[in-house]
Structure 1
Amino acid sequence: MALRIEDYALIGDTETAALVGRDGSVDWLCWPRFDSGACFAALLGSPDHGRWRIGPAAREPQVRRAYRDGTIILETCFETPEGAVMLVDWMPVRNGAPHLVRQVIGQRGRVPMRMELTLRFDYGRDVPWVTQLPDGDEGICAIAGPDMAVLRSPVPLRGEDMRTVAEFEVAEGQSLTFTLAYGPSHLPVPPPLDAEAAAAETEAAWRDWAGKVEEAGPWTEAVRRSAVTLKALTYRPTGGIVAAPTTSLPEWPGNERNWDYRYCWLRDATFTLLALLRTGHVEDARAWRDWLLRTTMGSPSQVQIMYGIAGERRLSEWQVDWLPGFEGSKPVRVGNNAHRQLQLDIYGELMDALHQAHRRGLAITPAAWDLQRSLMDHLEKVWEEPDEGLWEPRDRRRCFTHSKVMAWAALDRAVRGIEAFGLEGPLDRWRALRKTIHAEICDKGYDADRGSFVRSYGSREVDASLLLLPTIGFLPPEDPRIRGTIAAVEQDLLTDGLVRRYRTEHVSDGLSGREGAFLACSFWLVDAYALTGRRAEAVALYERLLALRNDVGLLSEEYDPRGGAMLGNFPQAFSHVALVNAGYTLADTGPEARQLRTGTPAGPDPEAGRAHA
């Protein structure tokens, strides 16, 4: 039976990640980085495109699984008529060659097992040349072009139909450890791993990190699990955080809304920074802030909406035509041409993120403020232009209301930086432009007949990004225009209680097909409810969203509430960031619950309030 998206769990080493199915099959792994070619690509094709399965020989065993507390070490328990066995999957803290470790532990009886390794480098295309390891070392070395993988096994192996297989039994109390290592093919075979020592080091590191996550009231465990997931999506060498470790999981089965998310989006900047700071992980927040600064340095006119995990700017998109896609959803894409788009909201996101960092104690250097000033100089020239907006349609540019609001937010944070921290800049000019942008949005982005802000100038449609207006501080939550906008989103975009980004049937975005409810947007509605005094509804929706997580606490990008299935790339950082922030918003009974990103207890400060008039 084909696995669903929610049937997978994540393991990783903060440089790459793998997806492990409930059947014990590793169906997705890119080595050595998140954005490298996959050596296991069965997720987007068939077992012949690469996987590593270890499980009982018996069909359809009973399965239960969980992470070890505070870690992403996965324990999968299989119950069969012959007994019970546990499969422990993890990737050690990288110290040399990257490894994937799979430990089989007998718990009851004597269970027949089967291991099947199908290595296919370059997204399932390249069949490697396989040789036995020398000197009596039980295992194989597989090489194709620049890539090498080495399997060390405690049981005899044999070749079968271009795969490496083994059949063995595990008795109660017995433990067998398989290790798979990766390395460049021109280097020596990676040495054996001391799995016991590596396991202790890895578990201690994860638990130490998770143990420092700040309490979030009754939602602490959910927030902590999402925080650990975000840590697993961090590329440790640079501090970048990928949107997801996968590509081309469909927003609706069988359609073309399939994107590569193994990159870092500037639009996520403030949400991610706030989530890290709220969890108490200042060093991780600093690493993310530093990634933002390094990556965006250069000409302000060349700032992109997204970058590679080390700051790469060229993310050319191509299609993997030999992969049929998840549930036949083609095309399978590598790279993302959206990096070429103009999205004016990124200036607001970047300025907001750096302002939040400064406000919460992360020092902004003179060089960083110089960069921010140059970004503002450029924004002053381009803010009136139409753009593609944060949802990245591929047909034409529009004057999206959210984009204009974020241009306002960029000016607002620049003004606040000067006022609060004594930074140098053209204060009067920026105040005046902030007021001008605000007035235009209230004139052209607001539909008085509907009593709501709208998706773009001249439109009567809404989209979920409008839920962010009170969070950003554009207007106070009690403003009737904010309440009217929330009501319009509820009327137009709620599907079985969850929020869609926009109504695809009413929007020409150059793409075909449906999509599910967008989970981050549903968490934004939680925030909007909380900010406008609708706490009971906020708590109920938050609890509903938590119930959508899979059995190990993971969320995808979207969800089909009627079919009860996850959709889109998985696990999705944006969903987990929104979960963390909404959890802290609900748990906080003090001023922070109202200030969020604005920095003021009850909405905009007095000067900004005059700008709103």
Structure 2
Amino acid sequence: MTVTQYRSSLDVAAIGNGRVAALIDPGGRIVWWCFPRLDGDPVFCRLLSGNEDKGFCDVQLEGQVSATSGYVRNTCILETILVASNGARVKITDFAPRFLRFGRSFHPTQLIRRIEPLNGLPRIVCRVRPAFGYGEATASPAQGSNHIRYSAGSTPIRVTTDLAVSYIVHETPFVLTHPVTLVLGSDEPIESSIDAMSREFLDQTRDYWVTWVRGLAIGYEWQSEVIRAAISLKLCTFEETGAIIAALTTSIPEAPNTPRTWDYRFCWLRDAYFVIRALNRLGATQSMENYLGYITTIVADTESPLRPLYGIVHNDTMEERVAPDLQGFLGMGPVRVGNLASKQLQHDAYGSVILGASQMFIDQRLPRMGDASLFRELEHLGQQARRLYLKPDAGIWEYRGRERIHTHSATMCWVACDRLARIASLLGLHERAVYWRHSADKIRSEILTRAWSEKRGAFTGAFDNSELDASVLLLAELGLVAPNDPRFVKTCDTIGRELMRNGLMLRYAAEDDFGLPESAFLACQFWYIDALALIGRTEDARELFSELLNHRNAFGMLSEDLHPATGQLWGNIPQTYSMAGLINSAMSLSRRWDDAWAPLPHAAPSESAEATMEQTEQTLQRSA
């Protein structure tokens, strides 16, 4: 376990198993748990309850003076050590069971909490206070012989335990003399020994994560950072359908006291490229394959218009409403359920889907490759891209009060046609390749003419407009322009000069529906880092990347936003965009494995063997 220091209100750790996930604060309090799946009712909603003490599960140690917390290495099993002034110590181990059982993936709607005495005679209180209906109701516990049932709606939860049930129901202090276990989950009986089951599940869950991490193809540098990002990305996966949600939370504001609070427990199609790229580079082919399955299910529905985001089950409703019984993160509401962006016009979605699905035509590791049938279904999306690229939309940043012809949206329409041309060539469909290449060239010419501003010395965020937008940093990576194109180099310079605040990148600086933006968007920071590397400024990119890693929370995760003035994390967490960005940048910038024992840069050829050994040791320490 790694001992951590805490510096942010978003210093929370995530545990999960591909069906449910929870967030736990540094003191071991479970402050967020959506049940019975990732987008469900947050029965533990303390993260968003403001000054109301509801929706949590914790352990109070009498006379507590400190708490340290961290993950078991290469897992998402969390250990928290509570220490009292008299020297008594307690260890809390939290995890969501995840392993193979009977030849199938076993990931029940359960959280397991083991509480063990480590020293002395610790006197503790176990508190379990779920809330239902987004904070609307708390339930009186119904007590059984070895379980407690909480219900205030259609989906009750059960706490099964080998601890005296009355101690939990009445929140009675008691002396912990032996390990006890709480199993939180569906209202189903557990007929085996709670202690034996929890120990078995803990061992098998640890083995699962260690084995999964062992299969990752990571770079030489920033290994622990990439591993934690990969695990965080996997925790945002709903494995039944393959959907990957944007974050585990809803309504954590983008900045202090802003109404920019959104529900991110849905699957955004534009994330497809970044997520699939990250999973592919890590060699996490099963997760990538599941996600491609989710995307192709959407592609197969040619009767319905393409939406920018979908539920973790494709046809789920995403109607947006406000939850009045939750005050919000640090009391900063509103708390939103659902997302109005699902009804917006966002034309980049067509290119995002085709770009993600194109992996199926080139990746020989996949058991089912893309074929002419899938290509024909993708052509339907390509035709929509051809039709819409000059139509105004809400854009990548989902403006709610205006529409423009956004450069990124038009570029992704170009991507749709460009990738279809390439896929047609791979399949030997010459006529279709010519058709889609002609379409792509036409769109590209329009973008280069109308998105370039000689006055600003940059590609701008919308056609015939002078406002800057960090999304154009993706133009070279997507292939619209070459990295050494003078216009792209100038764009990097201009955006770096005008959108950076204290070394952190804003999405844009112009006023929008909610006023002037004040937080840096972390995905844009990674895009800038990648753009610098593409144009040959690798050392600058590495420096910015290393600085950004220092802003991760105490458990190695990133949210959506970072405040340039305070350096604090804001926005929903863990943010898929940010974690995928970290992985992609690290893999691009890392030294190669066969360079591990090479002399450090700038080392003089005449150095003594002793100095060389000392520098090599320092390199290994930094990498560790």
- TM-score of the two chains, using structure 1 as the length reference: 0.89
Partner AA of 2:182 in structure 1: F
Partner AA of 1:132 in structure 2: Q
Could you list the per-position Cα deviations for residues 64-89 of structure 1 after superposition, in whole angstroms to 9, with x for gaps in the alignment?
Answer: 22111111000112232222222111
Mapping of residues 380-395 of structure 1, within 5 Å = 380-395=386-401
Alignment pair present for 1:451 and 2:462? no
In 1: Cα distance, 2:94 partner to 2:411 partner: 45
Matching residue within 159, 175, 181 for 1:151: 159
Query: How much has 1:356 moved relative to structure 2?
Result: 2.9
Contact 1:347 1:406 in 2 (8 A): yes
Alignment pair present for 1:335 and 2:343? no
Question: Counterpart of 1:108?
Answer: 119
Query: How much has 1:342 moved relative to structure 2?
Result: 1.1
Query: How much has 1:123 moved relative to structure 2?
Result: 1.4
Contact 2:328 2:335 in 1 (8 A): yes
Question: Counterpart of 2:422?
Answer: 416
Note closer, same or farther for the CA distance 1:96–1:433 as it changes in structure 2 (3 Å cut). closer
Query: How much has 1:513 moved relative to structure 2?
Result: 6.3
Note closer, same or farther for the CA distance 1:564–1:540 as it changes in structure 2 (3 Å cut). same
Query: How much has 1:151 moved relative to structure 2?
Result: 1.7
Note closer, same or farther for the CA distance 1:569–1:151 as it changes in structure 2 (3 Å cut). same
- TM-score of the two chains, using structure 2 as the length reference: 0.88
SS in 2 for 1:22: coil
Question: Counterpart of 2:90?
Answer: 85
SS in 2 for 1:278: helix
Could you list the per-position Cα deviations for residues 127-178 of structure 1 after superposition, in whole angstroms to 9, with x for gaps in the alignment?
Answer: 22422113xx2x3222223122222334334489xx752322335xx42222
Matching residue within 214, 222, 225 for 1:211: 214
Query: How much has 1:116 moved relative to structure 2?
Result: 1.2
Note closer, same or farther for the CA distance 1:579–1:357 as it changes in structure 2 (3 Å cut). farther
Contact 1:51 1:118 in 2 (8 A): yes
Partner AA of 1:314 in structure 2: T
Contact 1:386 1:398 in 2 (8 A): yes
Matching residue within 402, 407, 416 for 2:413: 407
Note closer, same or farther for the CA distance 1:531–1:268 as it changes in structure 2 (3 Å cut). same
In 2: Cα distance, 1:294 partner to 1:91 partner: 28
Matching residue within 43, 48, 54 for 1:44: 48
Question: Counterpart of 1:595?
Answer: none
Alignment pair present for 1:231 and 2:234? yes
Question: Counterpart of 1:266?
Answer: 269
Ranges in structure 1 where 5+ consecutive residues have no aligned partner: 591-613
Ranges in structure 2 where 5+ consecutive residues have no aligned partner: 1-5, 99-104, 594-624
Alignment pair present for 1:178 and 2:203? no
Contact 1:249 1:326 in 2 (8 A): yes
Contact 1:345 1:403 in 2 (8 A): yes
Question: Counterpart of 1:320?
Answer: 323
Deviates more, 1:543-552 or 1:364-373: 364-373
In 2: Cα distance, 1:125 partner to 1:428 partner: 59
Matching residue within 466, 476, 485 for 2:472: 466
Partner AA of 1:147 in structure 2: T
Question: Counterpart of 2:385?
Answer: 379
Percent identical residues = 32
Contact 1:251 1:514 in 2 (8 A): no
Contact 1:557 1:572 in 2 (8 A): yes
Query: How much has 1:273 moved relative to structure 2?
Result: 0.7
Matching residue within 9, 14, 18 for 1:10: 14
Alignment pair present for 1:22 and 2:26? yes
> Cα RMSD over matched residues?
2.1
Matching residue within 486, 491, 515 for 2:492: 486
Query: How much has 1:370 moved relative to structure 2?
Result: 1.6
Could you list the per-position Cα deviations for residues 302-336 of structure 1 after superposition, in whole angstroms to 9, with x for gaps in the alignment?
Answer: 11111011212531111101111112222110000
Aligned residues: 574
Matching residue within 69, 72, 79 for 1:65: 69
Contact 1:405 1:441 in 2 (8 A): yes
Question: Counterpart of 2:543?
Answer: 540
Question: Counterpart of 2:135?
Answer: 124
Contact 2:19 2:108 in 1 (8 A): no
Note closer, same or farther for the CA distance 1:19–1:420 as it changes in structure 2 (3 Å cut). same
SS in 1 for 2:137: coil
Could you list the per-position Cα deviations for residues 8-53 of structure 1 after superposition, in whole angstroms to 9, with x for gaps in the alignment?
Answer: 1101121121111112211111111111111111111145431111
In 1: Cα distance, 2:216 partner to 2:514 partner: 40
Question: Counterpart of 1:428?
Answer: 434
